[in-house]
């Protein structure tokens, strides 16, 4: 398993966490998503290395942004 951490901006509530978790969870190979609302940290567990672009698109779809993208 591979763990990759991202910083997501704009999340302010439990709904934000759910939206980001759901969208990232749809990416093939993702086995887990752990969101720390207080810090904006999102740790994605996957069976293979994910493209940053795929994760960025999922986060965008949820209505948020990965810091520095």
Packing angle of the helix pair 14-25, 52-62 (nearest 10 deg)? 140
How do residues 7-29 score in pLDDT, each as one tens digit?
999 999 999 999 999 999 999 99
Asked if the model's pLDDT at residue 69 lies above 70, the reply is: no
Q: Does the structure show a pLDDT above 80 at 53?
A: yes
Predicted TM-score (pTM) of this structure: 0.92
Query: How wide is the angle at C-alpha 65 spanned by C-alphas 34 and 12, nearest 5°?
Result: 65
> Has domain 2-66 been given CATH number 3.30.70.100?
yes
Residue with the bigger pLDDT between 68 and 44: it is 44
Q: Describe the strand order of the beta sheet including 65-66 as a list of residue ranges.
A: 30-36, 41-46, 2-9, 65-66
Residues in the chain, how many? 69
What is the domain partition of the chain in residue ranges?
2-66
pLDDT higher than 90, residue 44 = yes
- CA dihedral over 58, 64, 66, 68, signed as positive or negative: positive
């Amino acid at each position: 398993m591979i763990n990759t951490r991202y910083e997501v901006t704009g999340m302010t509530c439990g709904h934000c966490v759910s939206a980001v978790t759901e969208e990232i969870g749809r990416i093939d190979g993702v086995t887990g998503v752990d969101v720390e609302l207080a810090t904006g940290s999102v740790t994605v567990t996957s069976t293979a290395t994910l493209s940053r672009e795929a994760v960025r698109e999922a986060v965008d779809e949820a209505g948020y942004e990965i810091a520095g993208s």
